[in-house]
Amino acid sequence: MSRVTGLVAAAVVVGGFGIGAWMYFEGYFGTPSQAVDAVPVVEPLPEPIRQRPEDPGGYQADTRGSALLEGAATEPETGPERLLPSFEEPMARPHAEPPVPETEPEPDAVPEPAETADSAAPVEEPPELPEPRHPRSAWKASIQLLAIRSRDRAVVEAQRLLAAHPDVFGILDFRVREFKVSEQERVQRLQAGPFETRKAAGEVCNVLEKRGVPCFVAKGQ
């Protein structure tokens, strides 16, 4: 009995599923004639859509009588034609005249030489340092004033310092000592002294430096 009941229930379920499927298929894919006839048909309007307006409007410019058109409409003047001037003919390049040779002066017009061999100026002798007044053994300390390559210029500087500062260099001696910088270069050192101590030499250097004279303490002998 229970088996028959189960079969009947299954048949009812299958039948209901089949009926539902058929209804869905018919409703989705089927095209009823009434629905097709109800679709509206769109057609163009019988009258033209775009028409030229009777009054287009806008600003209408009157170009009659303008100066530009009047000038273009006038007739050309009658009379002879005016031609442009012709090109100028190139001028010939002037020929440079050869220079006129200078005439040699007459023998009596040759100037005499300003100086002759007899009247030539004598050659100046190299400057010398003042005679020393102190022995070499007294040079325990000294002051150095400059270092230069030329001995003559060092001597000239010593004479200038003696004339400018006689109160300092009037009681001192000058000497020029050669210093070997390299095999090809020598330097002449201008020194003044002698001094008993390096302190005494430093005091004189202070006085000279205040006067604008470079100076530093150097060795004695």
pLDDT for 117 equals 47
The predicted model gives 137-159 an average pLDDT of 92
3-state secondary structure of 80: coil
Q: Name the DSSP letter for residue 108.
A: G
Place of tokens 């189960």: 6
79-112 pLDDT, tens digit per residue, is: 565 666 665 667 777 666 666 555 555 545 445 5
Q: Name the DSSP letter for residue 54.
A: S
Which is higher by pLDDT, 17 or 143?
Answer: 143
Which is higher by pLDDT, 5 or 194?
Answer: 194
CB neighbour class for 213 (10 Å; exposed up to 12, middle 13-18, buried from 19): middle
Q: Which of 19-33, 34-48, 72-86, 140-154 has the highest mean pLDDT?
A: 140-154
Mean pLDDT score of the chain, rounded to an integer?
A: 76
Task: Look at domain 140-219 and name its CATH class.
Answer: alpha beta
